[in-house]
Chain A
């Protein structure tokens, strides 16, 4: 037990859930199996579960079930947040304050998001690397997508847009910034290198996404009245969404087949020799993983619904604007697992994985989740376009361009991380002081337009 404690202290990131035969996720990279950096980082939060308690149970089938539950529920350091889920549900039914439901749901979503990526990985072990990569690429940000779809259903388009935009900003500036800052301070004497081609590719995808957001925005300014451009802007957004999904599809082909070598982090040269040799095994069975995934998704859906329902009340009672809550708070919750992973790999001076996590997640949201929401909204008959308004699009543009410039030279130091982090703080401060109502584009435009037409008519 003592020796186990020591290894845990020295290499917390290597520790896996499962019995001692289980191996580190990183070792798989050495074997040429392709896993994206995204999935790798999530493992950093996992911990080895102790089977001593469970093994006392006699009945074999009962023991298996208990082991399974232990793997899934207790396999993460975030599992202390699981009690928030029943608490949120109880608070909802007992009619406690809406803001309590909001905050408990947010806390409950954090471990669920991490567990979903764990289960996706487990399924990937059975399906092989390519299908697994695809699964990761589509389910990696499932929490954000589910929240967005619930917000769409209750017709809160602003919350959808804000939460997705906030997720991109948080990945680009907060996650990357803190990672580079911590990594830069921890390895202040070392050279911190990474392969810039992967980062370039992601920046390019994000620039395409930026253009798709920018044009509908500029569209509204070109014509005399916003009503004239609402219809064509919607068509443009839908066409651009299809283009973006196509681009994401080709990006997956690029990443998983033709240029796989760009996206695979280099092998570890040193250390961990004893772990590298054996193959990885799944901790839980395929069907049980699938069942768990379905169960988790139901809970995510439930909590997302609470979050979406109560965000307005929480905003009112705390005196914070909805835009601040959805741009800053929601993404921090959804990205917590990736965030921790990215920082830990930055501490180890493995910036390729850090960049893969942060940029890969940002690209996924911008090029897959956002256009998917537009298309889902189209199917549901909701008029959601890609126009994110001036302040938000400006923040996005600066975040993408600053990140692109930061990653130009293939090296890093703490100052780069600090600047990115400070950019995030400034953007956060901007939305903190902003006091607009929920639908900022409707209200001012409509009011000014109405008063304008009134004055024209009266004249």
Chain B
């Protein structure tokens, strides 16, 4: 087996280890930066592990062996695969009518490895399509889990859950993922200088500030106008227009990132380690098929999550806003989170920043406006008004992250402060005991107030 040898490797370069059945395919993902891959998918490779093909090679039939090989690559190729059993459990629990909070918790657990595997499959397909199409694919599918959850919540008309989960994902990327990474990286490299290229983070922050403006204006509409009903309509129209602008801005950002200013987003080359070119571990067709299967499972589990979130909220005594702002994004970002921390430990802050900020930008500028447009098509009135507390948290998160990343260096206190910001925001939503839709309450209040006025 040579397992001791492998273990040795495991300890020293746990982050470099790749899945790959044939020995020739075992390469570091980091090299592939030259092929125009974004930092985002690089980080998720840190959770992969080398699968053992010795078991499989005992099988005689060629086709079956290939199938098993393929299966092993996809299912067992990650350290998170211990969470895969949660998927059938969640389905069983749902079919046999277990307690709803259990379905919710199991579905959340099952979504973690699926999110990681989707980014792995996207990468695999990238090898066949070339770097530019691959970059595009990554830019659109990088947060597929969040997008699918959001669309299911939309189709159930749970607009608050959509807004909260997307907002929470931005907050979690900006504060939790970045904060823990800078904190751990700062403690691990306390004497070393921790530098990064601030132009990439500046670009991301600019995009986020624009997203923030697009959330702020519809909210201010509510306070500036004369009557609530009139404002709701104009706010909705404005939100749709702003969403189109945001999607256009995201396209320009993709062109900037993948063609014209690619050098800003590519981390520096590693001078060490192996320099061969990378090969795909599975075929294009099988990669595509797996992607479809994974997406179906994500969809099923997302539906369970969306259906059961209110029951879970009731039985655990936590508000829906806390569950969707804090819990859902932690699940969706688990793979990126681990990757970002590992690269911070290695003092490669460019990749860490690329993961955390890139993911936040993608959600803020692509997933959110896409949801607004999709809901427009579905005939649902979703606007960009995230309400006061949420928009305030978003503003503070963006501004603080912007100040943190101004000087091109990092140390542990910066990470700690970002993390504490996240804790304070989390505490705020934890103590909040309002129903999931404040807007309704405000409307009711306003109605009763105007009624009272009329009668008086």
Tell yes or no: A59 within 8 A of B by CB.
Answer: no
Find B424's partner among A212, A228, A232, A404 (CB 8 Å cutoff): A212
Q: Which of the four size classes fits the interface of chain B?
A: 35 or more
- Tell me whether A215 and B414 are in contact in the complex, defined as CB-CB below 8 angstroms, given that A224-B445, A459-B456 are known contacts: no
Interface residues in A118-171 by Cβ distance below 8 A to B read none
- Tell me whether A259 and B427 are in contact in the complex, defined as CB-CB below 8 angstroms, given that A211-B400, A222-B434, A408-B406 are known contacts: no
Q: Is the CB of A246 within 8 A of B393?
A: no
Q: Is the CB of B388 within 8 A of A215?
A: no
Q: For the complex, give the distance between the alpha carbons of A258 and B406 in Å.
A: 21
Q: For the complex, give the distance between the alpha carbons of A351 and B455 in Å.
A: 65
Interface residues in A430-459 by Cβ distance below 8 A to B read 452, 455-456, 458-459
> Which of chain A's residues have a CB closer than 8 A to the CB of B392?
214-215, 218
Q: Is the CB of A459 within 8 A of B417?
A: no
Q: Is the CB of B431 within 8 A of A200?
A: no
Q: For the complex, give the distance between the alpha carbons of A208 and B403 in Å.
A: 11
For the residues of A in contact with B, the DSSP-based class is: helix
CB distance from A40 to the nearest CB of B (A): 22
Q: Which of the four size classes fits the interface of chain A?
A: 35 or more
Contact with A along B383-407 (1 / 0, CB 8 A): 0000111001100100110011011
**Nearest residue in B to A240 (C-beta to C-beta)?**
B424
- Tell me whether A455 and B389 are in contact in the complex, defined as CB-CB below 8 angstroms, given that A196-B407, A224-B442 are known contacts: no
Q: Is the CB of A214 within 8 A of B396?
A: yes
- Tell me whether A208 and B407 are in contact in the complex, defined as CB-CB below 8 angstroms, given that A401-B399, A452-B449 are known contacts: no
Tell yes or no: B420 within 8 A of A by CB.
Answer: yes
Find A247's partner among B406, B407, B417 (CB 8 Å cutoff): B417
Q: For the complex, give the distance between the alpha carbons of A60 and B330 in Å.
A: 73
Q: For the complex, give the distance between the alpha carbons of A239 and B420 in Å.
A: 11
Q: Is the CB of A223 within 8 A of B427?
A: no
Tell yes or no: B64 within 8 A of A by CB.
Answer: no
Q: Is the CB of A211 within 8 A of B388?
A: no
Q: Is the CB of A240 within 8 A of B456?
A: no
> Which of chain A's residues have a CB closer than 8 A to the CB of B448?
456
CB distance from A279 to the nearest CB of B (A): 29
Q: How many A-B residue pairs have CB under 8 A?
A: 116
Find A211's partner among B409, B425, B451 (CB 8 Å cutoff): B425
Contact with A along B402-434 (1 / 0, CB 8 A): 011011010111101100110111011001111
CB distance from B180 to the nearest CB of A (A): 15
> Which of chain A's residues have a CB closer than 8 A to the CB of B441?
223-224
Tell yes or no: B195 within 8 A of A by CB.
Answer: no
Q: Is the CB of A197 within 8 A of B409?
A: yes
Q: Is the CB of B411 within 8 A of A239?
A: no
Tell yes or no: B226 within 8 A of A by CB.
Answer: no
> Which of chain B's residues have a CB closer than 8 A to the CB of A215?
389, 392-393, 424-425, 428
Tell yes or no: A250 within 8 A of B by CB.
Answer: yes
Tell yes or no: A251 within 8 A of B by CB.
Answer: yes
Q: For the complex, give the distance between the alpha carbons of A40 and B448 in Å.
A: 61
Q: Is the CB of A222 within 8 A of B432?
A: yes
- Tell me whether A200 and B420 are in contact in the complex, defined as CB-CB below 8 angstroms, given that A215-B392, A251-B413 are known contacts: no
Tell yes or no: A254 within 8 A of B by CB.
Answer: yes
Tell yes or no: A205 within 8 A of B by CB.
Answer: yes
Interface residues in A323-342 by Cβ distance below 8 A to B read none
Find A222's partner among B389, B406, B412, B421 (CB 8 Å cutoff): B389
Tell yes or no: B3 within 8 A of A by CB.
Answer: no
Interface residues in B21-70 by Cβ distance below 8 A to A read none
> Which of chain B's residues have a CB closer than 8 A to the CB of A224?
441-442, 444-445
Contact with B along A214-237 (1 / 0, CB 8 A): 110011011110001000110110
Find B403's partner among A204, A219, A240, A247 (CB 8 Å cutoff): A204
Q: For the complex, give the distance between the alpha carbons of A204 and B190 in Å.
A: 19
Q: Is the CB of A459 within 8 A of B403?
A: no
**Nearest residue in A to B428 (C-beta to C-beta)?**
A215
> Which of chain B's residues have a CB closer than 8 A to the CB of A235?
431
- Tell me whether A258 and B388 are in contact in the complex, defined as CB-CB below 8 angstroms, given that A236-B431, A452-B449, A455-B456 are known contacts: no
Tell yes or no: A314 within 8 A of B by CB.
Answer: no
CB distance from B70 to the nearest CB of A (A): 49
Q: Is the CB of B451 within 8 A of A459?
A: yes
- Give me 10 A-to-B residue pairs in the complex whose CB atoms sit less than 8 angstroms apart, sorted by A's number: A200-B404, A207-B421, A211-B425, A212-B424, A219-B428, A222-B388, A223-B434, A240-B424, A456-B449, A459-B456
Q: Closest 7 CB pairs between A and B?
A: A232-B431, A455-B452, A215-B428, A218-B389, A211-B396, A459-B452, A239-B427
